[in-house]
Structure 1
Amino acid sequence: MKNGVVIVGAGHAGVQAAASLREEGYDGPVILIGDENEPPYHKPPLSKTFIKDADAKPQPLRGEAFYSGNAIDYRPGVWIDRIDGGERRLDVSGGGTIAFDRLVLATGSRPRLLKLDGAELAGVVSLRSLADARLIRELSAQSEEVVILGGGFIGLEIAATHVRQRLEAMGVRLLTGTTVARLEGEGGRVSAAITSSGERLPAQLVIIGIGVVPNVELAEAAGIAIANGIRVDQHMQSSIPEILAVGDAASYRHWFTGGDVRLESVQNATDQARLAARTIVGHAEPFAAVPWFWSDIGDMKLQMVGLTQGGDSHVVLGEPAENRFSIYHYAGNRLLGIESVNRPADHMLGRKMLGAGFSPAPHTVAAGPDALKAALAAFSQDEPARASA
């Protein structure tokens, strides 16, 4: 492949795809394109330590020597205007083209826009990039009253709580079942959020955390199939096989649930990137990674494994009041996933169980971790006999 592989997007998925290509023995050209004028960095810390510590620095995904040492042509600050799938080339914003034999789209996602009066005011921000995090850190030091819109990971991490009781104990007020009607400002800067019930919430800083939108415009304009993301098969190939997609922007039929999903996590991004690299070098295999997620929220480490949609029952281990517990979600007798707070051993065991295809009975879960470990060991010992039967 004389033109090699071009990767658009220099986040977790893009950098992993470049690294995995070299790890898989690919020796052709690799071009990694990023739209930020920054070395690729870890994004999860932005909503945690970075915005709380004025001296914190971004954490690089790889050292500078990684790119030169592995002959990876990293090009920062480059925007792509168009994909020509037929000619296999990219049109670069400002002029020029980049030819490719294979293209990996790791274009990620962007914050969902807030469609409210006042959303354009200074002091209304969202968090997705290093520039966003720097701005929030700066504004936080100047603001006594902050309103966070959205109750997902970003909103919860910045508020530093996940449970109402703990939130209230830390002086953070949680409003549920409430929407914001508009934002008010003074002198061009936000001063308050007005709820749908008419309550005025003073704020010098409003942080928007209402979800993200996958970046699919390039792919869609190139005629690539879109379905809540860039539609890919179990090998990460799009409807144009020479073009692959990974990470936040990719949607696919999940092997475990049988439903269509688009997952936004570092684990999903890196696992898909590894598989895309294997597809490119000819070692194709179906995607079968077990999804897992994590978040540090105040004094709680929240860890999740599996996908719990469609659950109809659950088993709780530990004591929520003690801030150490796990919830095992079931659909009938099938274990779908586990959500853990400050019980990392439960999380790790859950990853092993779901990865092995083992679904313990609810009464086995209720018996505790030792019983689960024993049941998993027995299942693993019997698995070769079942496979050969």
Structure 2
Amino acid sequence: MADETYVVVGGGLAGGKAAEILREEGFDGEIVLVTAEDRPPYERPVLSKGFLLGSDPVESAYVHEASWWDAHDITVRTRTTATGLRLDDRLVELADGTTLGYDKLLLATGSWPRRLDVPGADLDGVLYLRTMPEAERIKGILDAGGPLVIIGAGWIGLEVAAAARTHDVPVTILETADLPLQRVLGDRVAEVFAALHRKHGVDLRLGTGVAEIRGDAGVTSVVTTDGDEIPAAAVVVGIGATPQCEWALAAGLAGEGGIDTDASMRTSDPAVWAAGDIAAAEKPRLGRRVRVEHWAMANDSGPVAARSMLGQDVTYDKLPFFYTDQYDLGMEYVGAVSDPATADVVVRGNADPSAGPLAFHAFWLDDGIVGAAMHVNMWDDGLEPLKALVGTRVDPARLADTDVPLTDLATG
């Protein structure tokens, strides 16, 4: 394979780990990694967690230090954007009008924040959190004392809010849904996050949207759909993300929204793989295709794709996983349910922030079968017993009983 060229498009964790594994597994051909950013690959969770909290330097997000890529003979082409594919010719089209040939191609372009569409959304100080420069700008706002308005009570919005309140910055969150994380967790567990943030002084306004952002050169206030005007030194928008793969789908790869892959991350084209946020991967254990925009997907699917590119018999059948840290809440979640709003939710332990330290498990059941499970601050039990329960039938009454060990719960 010394005369072959493998191209990786995407400078996030999935692309960076894939390039690393290609070399680690002995590939001695040319590797070219293309990234639209001005720096080598890095991962995203540090940006909304440790960096904004002040516990981790922004540099800790890099997959490897800059010199590592040269030392491993991997060409990293920064400030280079892919715009199209010619599958029959095995060419990646670039924004500057040139093309890049490949023998095998990995697409790991990730997702991009959805943009806010209201008057004033283009003012200086309306910020999104996806890149290092954006994180550095938000950190500067926190250090200056705010006040901060956050639009959207998803993971990004809540993690930024927690970091801001840790810095004693006044925070208002505007969310059009009835609860934060409602579409992800369902009402029962979403209520925990609402209570948690209010306990820490967040002005959480639910069922409320944005009518306008005001300011001259920069943001000075946000006007809600209720007509209230809220002072703001900056606005952080977290209203979801869009997978960056339209150009690849337009070239003929199968998929809708994301790029369809099999369990080895191979797409409908035999020379193209996909990993990370954009990959809608077959999950044999779940019996369906799943696309997940979380760290674990990037961290794990990139290496699987790399090994598959090398001809190894590999599958990515790990359960979807994500985590968050907000104030004194540390959470891990594993599994997937098609609709958290209709699943039966069972909670065991203390899920009331006003009743003492949070420490509980939560389970989402479809017809008595555990589809997903999470723990909050239950570190002694850890994640493994929860993984073992996903896909099993349980007795809900025993599941809620803290006297019944997790290991004794499965009934079939």
Range class of TM-score, shorter chain: 0.7 to 0.9
Residue 249 of structure 1, CA deviation: 1.2
Residue 263 of structure 1, CA deviation: 0.5
The answer for unaligned runs of 5 or more in structure 2 is 166-191
Q: Equivalents in 2 of 1:299, 1:208: separation in Å? A: 24
1:216 alignment counterpart: 245
What is the aligned counterpart of 1:337 among 372, 377, 392? 372
Residue 114 of structure 1, CA deviation: 0.6
- What is the identity, as a one-letter code, of the residue corresponding to 1:319? N
Residue 73 of structure 1, CA deviation: 2.3
Residue 135 of structure 1, CA deviation: 1.3
What is the aligned counterpart of 1:171 among 201, 221, 225? 201
1:119 alignment counterpart: 121
2:234 alignment counterpart: 205
2:183 alignment counterpart: none
For residues 222-241 of structure 1, what are the structure 2 equivalents within 5 Å?
Answer: 222-241=251-270
Please say if residues 385 and 407 of structure 2, whose CA atoms lie closer than 8 Å, have aligned partners that are also in contact.
no
Q: Equivalents in 2 of 1:220, 1:275: separation in Å? A: 22
Q: Equivalents in 2 of 1:351, 1:10: separation in Å? A: 32
Calculate the aligned-residue CA RMSD, in Å: 2.5
1:134 alignment counterpart: 136
2:350 alignment counterpart: 319
The answer for unaligned runs of 5 or more in structure 1 is 380-389
- What is the identity, as a one-letter code, of the residue corresponding to 1:217? E
Tell me: CA distance 1:6–1:369, structure 2 relative to 1, closer, same or farther (3 Å).
farther
* TM-score (norm: length of structure 2): 0.83
Q: Equivalents in 2 of 1:373, 1:353: separation in Å? A: 8
1:37 alignment counterpart: 38
Tell me: CA distance 1:256–1:152, structure 2 relative to 1, closer, same or farther (3 Å).
farther
* TM-score (norm: length of structure 1): 0.88
Please say if residues 42 and 58 of structure 1, whose CA atoms lie closer than 8 Å, have aligned partners that are also in contact.
no
Please say if residues 114 and 240 of structure 2, whose CA atoms lie closer than 8 Å, have aligned partners that are also in contact.
yes
For residues 1-389 of structure 1, what are the structure 2 equivalents within 5 Å?
Answer: 1=1, 2-53=3-54, 56-59=57-60, 60-94=62-96, 96-160=98-162, 163-185=193-215, 187-310=216-339, 312-321=343-352, 322-354=357-389, 358-368=392-402, 371-373=405-407
Residue 122 of structure 1, CA deviation: 0.9
SS of residue in 2 equivalent to 1:58: helix
What are the Cα deviations for residues 1-24 of structure 1, in whole angstroms up to 9, with x where unaligned? Answer: 423211001211001111222333
What are the Cα deviations for residues 45-102 of structure 1, in whole angstroms up to 9, with x where unaligned? Answer: 1112323439933212123454244332222222223322111122333354321100
What are the Cα deviations for residues 96-139 of structure 1, in whole angstroms up to 9, with x where unaligned? Answer: 43211000000001000111111011111110000111111223
SS of residue in 2 equivalent to 1:5: strand
What are the Cα deviations for residues 355-383 of structure 1, in whole angstroms up to 9, with x where unaligned? Answer: 7x65544344334487323567x99xxxx
**Count of residues in correspondence between the two structures:** 376
Residue 216 of structure 1, CA deviation: 0.9
Tell me: CA distance 1:369–1:265, structure 2 relative to 1, closer, same or farther (3 Å).
farther
SS of residue in 2 equivalent to 1:344: coil
- What is the identity, as a one-letter code, of the residue corresponding to 1:214? P
Please say if residues 110 and 243 of structure 2, whose CA atoms lie closer than 8 Å, have aligned partners that are also in contact.
yes
Tell me: CA distance 1:98–1:3, structure 2 relative to 1, closer, same or farther (3 Å).
farther
- What is the identity, as a one-letter code, of the residue corresponding to 1:167? H
Please say if residues 348 and 401 of structure 2, whose CA atoms lie closer than 8 Å, have aligned partners that are also in contact.
no
